Structure 1
Amino acid sequence: MEKGKSIPEEKETIEKNILSLYKECENFISSDECTKNLRNELEESIPDCLTVLRKWMDDLENSDHGIVIAGETSAGKSTLINKLFEKQLFRGRNNESTSTICKLRNSKRIRVITTDMRGQREETDMTDKCNLETKEGVKMLRNFLKDLTDLTSSEKSVTFNSVEVEFPIPFLGGNMILVDTPGIGGSGNVTDKLIKYLPNALLFIFMINAGSAGGMQNDRLPEIIRAIVLLHLENEMPCFDPRNAIFITNKWDTLYSEDDSSDEDEETKTWNTLKFDIKNRWPSVRDELIFKMNLKDLQTP
């Protein structure tokens, strides 16, 4: 680290230097100094290299580096977020509930910022009245968010393009954010919000309901996976590495009744089928990033 600079300042300096280098490369490739032969060689190694370079610059300048949690309705996305934060911030439901993109970021203050379809923002600062170290404070924020993000609680929630929630989240460093998304397979307009957000993502966590027809229904999660693969092939997501995608299969406890003597064999078959389906639709997936769990069994303080 450069003497006298903090880690965030050092990071900002590095990003500026990289951005400057990218711009110099873009100017050179676009100039007369770059010969036709060199351009052809660049295109062979990096197809549509100028577009890719500009996408890299856009991603570097973008303040949001999103870890997107996506999955079918009732797959357990909200439950996963509650477990990660060790706070019951969102209510998990068995039907469609999340109505908009919800971005969660680290901050010293507790703020909620809504952005409507016209791009207008409204901020609510709850720092002085909401103590998230207490159950009462968590409940206050949860109830406030319910009216903004829960389709079953308020019709106005569908009017928001996104809801940003800021509070102390130590494991989210820098500009990294966690993004909760509307359930796939619900209302068309909320699914469209997810589709439009896909190019902004750097990493995906796919939630799969193992108790829902094996968890990979043909008209739901695979549709989103195909959209991501297509965007990546078209260089719309040059900073996204498909090898880092995480698949969490959840709700295994709902698969069979307790008195079914063949539970273990059937569960093994379902697990093997699910892994085969995931690898078939996402060939670059790594075995160690496919998980099997019952999130509700994990204790949350």
Structure 2
Amino acid sequence: MSPVLPVSVVVVAADSGPTLRDCVRRVLACNVPLEMILVDNASGDGIPQAIARAHESDARLRVIYNHANLGFGPAVNRGVAQAHGKSVLVLNPDCLIDNATLQRLIDTLATHPRAGVIGAVVCDENGVPDPASYRRDPLLQRSLNTMFNRPGEGVNMEGPIPHALVEVEAVSGALMLLPRRVFDYLAGFDEDYFLHCEDLDLCRRVRDASYKVMLAGDVRVLHGKGSSSRHRPVFVSRHKHRGMWRWFRKFDPQARKPWVSALVWVGIWTHFLLQIPGQLIRLAKRKATREDANA
């Protein structure tokens, strides 16, 4: 029987680029007893295989290779199914943690028995927090207020993020620590999402199960931008909009009104179509820049 560890760190890769190496290295440098499960969604860059070879002597690391891109939530669920930790840390491949951060999160979870998920403030390289760290359910009225910069309650919380542990509606899926028992009780991520909004879905179901979603506002974690999204922006955007539609249909009371649902469906997919030209232009510019650099 495998020993029960304080935490299992689950990372999903999908052509995530060199930042994945740093993510794995930082996790394995922690002194906290842990296991790390890297779930590869059919990456073509060879980096998960290289990581497995580089750390083949470290029994804490296990790599699971999927033969297709299953999506984020399904891949996490398959990783957790093989985990042995009392808690599960879902970590993006472009998030860099250290031992103090990990220990702080584990201690916080241990001292708050009604916490169903704990997040941290994910920041860019300049230390600017991502608004997704501290947000509300994306109900229709809130989403419209945010989209059109209208007064009233929006999706993102207003003002600076408190440097304290606070109860919130949702945290960023870039870093989520959950008790294993809660993850199992909720049956993990909803696998009908492919990418985006599954973290909002999980946070909502945590609260519906009478657990708390909490943000450790004093824990700041560098969240870079890996290559998974940058090299296929239309693919990612399509699934993001699909996730928005699924969340609306599951949780927003306005979805019970057929005419509102129809308008929301048209709005979501019109927004997706309008973004495509700009995404393709930016992608072409990045490719041209790389070619010039390699010339």
Q: Could you tell me the TM-score, scaled by structure 2's length?
A: 0.27
> Which of these two proteins has the greater Rg computed from alpha carbons?
1
Scaled by the length of structure 1, the TM-score of the pair is 0.27
